[in-house]
Amino acid sequence: MGNYADEINRRRTFAIISHPDAGKTTLTEKFLLYGGAINLAGSVKGKATARHAVSDWMQIEKERGISVTSSVLQFSYDGFCINILDTPGHQDFSEDTYRTLMAADSAVMVIDASKGVEAQTRKLFKVCVMRHIPIFTFINKMDRDANDTFELLDDIEKELGIATCPVNWPIGSGKNFKGVYERESRCVITYADTEKGTKEGHATRIPFAETENLAAQIGEDFLSQLTDEIELLDGASASFDLEQVRAGNLTPVFFGSALTNFGVEIFLQHFLKMTTTPLPRRADIGLVDPVEHDFSAFVFKIQANMNKAHRDRIAFMRICSGRFDVNEEVRHVQGGRVMRLSQPQQIMADERKILSEAYAGDIIGVFDPGIFSIGDTVCMPGEQFAYEGIPTFAPEHFARVRQVDTMKRKQFVKGIMQIAQEGAIQIFQEFNTGMEEIIVGVVGVLQFDVLKYRLENEYNVEIKLENLPYEYIRWIENKDIDLDKLTGTSDMKKIKDLKNNPLLLFINQWSIGMTVDRNEGLILSEFGRT
């Protein structure tokens, strides 16, 4: 075991989550700007000729201005090596986000100051709570008219069930946004609308005690309001407790504007002080320590055709322990083989860098010849253990898929299988048939558009989708059940997944309970396991 504790302890790996349009991609870009990873931030939306966000690489994302796949971005800042997992904000791509959260040690939640907590944030937050992931909140778009600050905090506490601790406090909003008050240093940092694509300008720091100077800068009225709010805040809000933050019970809150670049670096500096080094992970042998244990990793995402020219598949792995060396063989536990990981790379949006080494906390992409599945473990050849599986979430929309040109059967099956292995869609078959009848299940209907788009553009196959009325799917936990003898309801359909596991589809929720009642001992589950 080499001495790589320093390298591992430098790592910080976090996911950015938000509702669509809260400004997550803009915030990600500004982080990269500070790390020197990019020189100019591109505006995400705007004219067709405009630069696109660095983390959006799929053509459909550029056309719609939304992130539909998770990107992995790495940069250095102030001695830290930072891995950002940028997740899709659009609710139809939440399954990808859930899996990405499995690879992160903490999460940054971006909230639009004029909207507060939105539906998608709630859903993602539940996954963070389930995993006890520390959450850091950045309330964005203070350069626009915002909701009352106390109401925003109240909203987070009520909706998400987590205590808040503001690290700084905004003074005004929109045209009257004057800056933020830093509670620890008791200073006001005045707002300046800096060049949007460049690093922060020189912010003026004024100690709160210098009332005359402060009044001249922000105005008497704002100073008076700030004085009242600080008094109220100091008396009412939860005091900062790092242990509670790391346990996922308390979220530090920051305010700023990612677009105008105000408050981003302040947030980054505080965040790096509060977050942890890579954390131990649970496996079937117990907790695996990132520093003490030799190399191990798990696959949390598979992406086909990231490079149209190469028709490749990349398996994304989170390194959980030790150091990865490109020249060493590893064991693919589920595949039962010892192998070398081929073309290990770090992917910065659509740019790639081939690696010779990486450490616990890092995310690497490796060439996948079709052997990896989401949730797979790799470790050293002398070991044999597996990390906890990643839950598959129940699709809520179903459609029967047929290819228009029956001569393209081979491309159709290959394409749909590859996209299914990525986990963006789930595919099923009629219970007593083979691949002739394919049913696709998705978490959000936009996934159907992406499936159609990708099959046409990447596999040259045109498809027709026939929407099915089913809304509920259940996995059958009993291994010994005879599906032919199962007594169901008139709206029930028997199907199987690619591993031949039997499943049931229902139109009505009440039919689920009736089916369980009619079949003694039947156990149905909302989650599958990878």
Strand-pair partners of 402? 464
Half-sphere exposure of 442 (CA within 13 A, CB side): 23
State if pTM tops 0.85: no
Which element (helix H / strand E) includes 75? Answer: strand 71-77
Judged against a pLDDT cut of 50, whether residue 376 lies above it is answered with yes
Half-sphere exposure of 124 (CA within 13 A, CB side): 35
pLDDT band at 50 (very low <50, low <70, confident <90, very high): very low
Res 45: pLDDT: 36
Q: Contact 108/14 with Cβ under 8 angstroms? A: yes
Percent of the chain with pLDDT over 70: 84
Res 51: pLDDT: 47
pLDDT band at 347 (very low <50, low <70, confident <90, very high): low
Give me the count of residues in the chain: 530
| Mean pLDDT taken over the chain | 83
Judged against a pLDDT cut of 50, whether residue 397 lies above it is answered with yes
What domains can you pick out in the chain, each with its CATH number?
A: 11-95+103-274 (3.40.50.300), 281-379 (2.40.30.10), 391-529 (3.30.70.3280)
Q: How many helices (H) does the chain have, and how many strands (E)?
A: 13, 33
Higher pLDDT, 331 or 192: 331
Strand order of the β-sheet with 330-332 is 337-339, 330-332, 377-379, 296-304, 313-321, 363-367, 345-348, 351-354
Strand-pair partners of 14? 84, 106
Q: Taking every pair of C-alpha atoms in the chain, what is the biggest distance, in angstroms?
A: 83
State pLDDT tens for residues 147-170: 999 999 999 998 888 999 999 999
Which element (helix H / strand E) includes 280? Answer: none
Q: What is the mean pLDDT of residues 260-281?
A: 92
Higher pLDDT, 21 or 321: 321
- DSSP for residue 212: H
Res 67: pLDDT: 41
- 79 Cβ neighbours under 8 A, 6+ residues apart: 10
SS (H, E, C) 316-382: EEEEEECEEECCCCEEECCCCEEECCCCCEEEECCEEEECCEEECCCEEEEECCCCCCCCCEEECCC
Higher pLDDT, 381 or 129: 381
Judged against a pLDDT cut of 50, whether residue 202 lies above it is answered with yes
Q: What is the mean pLDDT of residues 224-230?
A: 94
Q: What is the mean pLDDT of residues 42-47?
A: 38
The CA angle 168-174-178, to the nearest 5 degrees, is 50
Res 32: pLDDT: 80
Residue indicated by tokens 């004024």: 206
Res 62: pLDDT: 53
Q: Contact 115/124 with Cβ under 8 angstroms? A: no
| Ramachandran assignment for 308, one of left (phi > 0), alpha (psi -120 to 50 degrees), beta (any other) | alpha
pLDDT band at 309 (very low <50, low <70, confident <90, very high): low
DSSP β-ladder status, 168-171 and 179-182: antiparallel
Q: Which amino acid is it at 366?
A: V
| C-alpha pair distances (Å), 20 with each of 92, 104, 123, 425 | 10, 20, 13, 20
Q: Contact 492/472 with Cβ under 8 angstroms? A: no
Determine phi and psi for 218, rounding to 5 degrees. -110, -10
State pLDDT tens for residues 495-504: 988 778 889 9
Res 41: pLDDT: 47
Higher pLDDT, 23 or 488: 488
**Nearest one of 246, 292, 236, 299 to 273, comparing CA atoms:** 246
Q: What is the mean pLDDT of residues 366-377?
A: 88
| Ramachandran assignment for 490, one of left (phi > 0), alpha (psi -120 to 50 degrees), beta (any other) | alpha
Higher pLDDT, 514 or 393: 514
pLDDT band at 417 (very low <50, low <70, confident <90, very high): confident
Judged against a pLDDT cut of 70, whether residue 343 lies above it is answered with yes
State pLDDT tens for residues 129-143: 777 889 999 999 999
Report the distance separating Cα 511 and Cα 488, nearest Å: 8
Percent of the chain with pLDDT over 90: 46
Res 226: pLDDT: 94
Q: What is the mean pLDDT of residues 58-79?
A: 63
State pLDDT tens for residues 178-191: 999 999 999 999 98
Higher pLDDT, 89 or 262: 262
Which element (helix H / strand E) includes 228? Answer: helix 220-236
Strand-pair partners of 333? none
The CA angle 408-413-418, to the nearest 5 degrees, is 130
SS (H, E, C) 372-399: CCCCCEEECCCCCCCECCCEECCCCEEE
Higher pLDDT, 131 or 307: 131
Judged against a pLDDT cut of 60, whether residue 37 lies above it is answered with no
Determine phi and psi for 292, rounding to 5 degrees. -75, -25
Q: How many CB atoms lie within 10 A of CB 353?
A: 10
Res 42: pLDDT: 47
Res 48: pLDDT: 37
State pLDDT tens for residues 71-87: 678 888 999 999 988 77
- DSSP for residue 74: E
Least-confidence region, from 346-360, 482-496, 500-514: 346-360
pLDDT band at 53 (very low <50, low <70, confident <90, very high): low
